[in-house]
Amino acid sequence: MENTVRKIAWYSFLTLIMVVGIGVVVILKGNNPVVNFGSVETGQGYEATTTASNASGYAISTSPFHIKKAPSTLGSVIVTKAGTAGGYYNFYNATTTSILARASKYASTSILMISLPTDLAAGTYTFDVEFPIGLVVDWSGTIGTTTITYR
């Protein structure tokens, strides 16, 4: 009889230890915050597009190039190959560069946000500029190869 009582006590003790242990694991696991390993929240990362030139230096994309027809932010312009002098990249706060297709209150000079020469040295040029209407890039001359980041 004494052996049976000892066994029951021992099994009760082990059961109690297991229940408490599982409870501690559940509580500690439930209180751990989610750890993000990146520096950007979901949905806030930049997208990218390129304005590439072919071997002759002529643009593969057509100008004007509509990057985003909604409010956006220009993150950076990454020049990987410079173009020749005399041309430009113009970044407009617009959904079109056509004066006939936009309201008269938006003159070309008022929607031009950034103008860069096509012979810009290779490198990363960071802007983080908001474009409340949209983001359109227009160019002239022999352009190089660039990557444009935006969101």
Does the structure show a pLDDT above 70 at 49?
Answer: yes
| Arithmetic mean of pLDDT over the chain | 80
Global pTM exceeds 0.75: no
In our burial notation (b when 16+ CB lie closer than 10 A, e otherwise), range 104-120 reads eebeeeebebbebebbb
Rg (CA), the chain: 30
pLDDT digits (tens, 9 = 90+) for 63-115: 677 788 889 999 999 999 888 888 888 899 988 777 777 777 777 777 899 99
pLDDT band at 33 (very low <50, low <70, confident <90, very high): low
pLDDT of 3 reads 74
| Higher-scoring residue by pLDDT: 141, 125 | 125
Q: Domain map of the chain by residue range?
A: 1-36, 47-150
pLDDT at 114: 92
CA distances from 83 to 13, 39, 94, 122 (A): 79, 33, 25, 10
Q: Which fold has domain 47-150?
A: Jelly Rolls (2.60.120)
| Tokens matching residue 72 | 């956006």
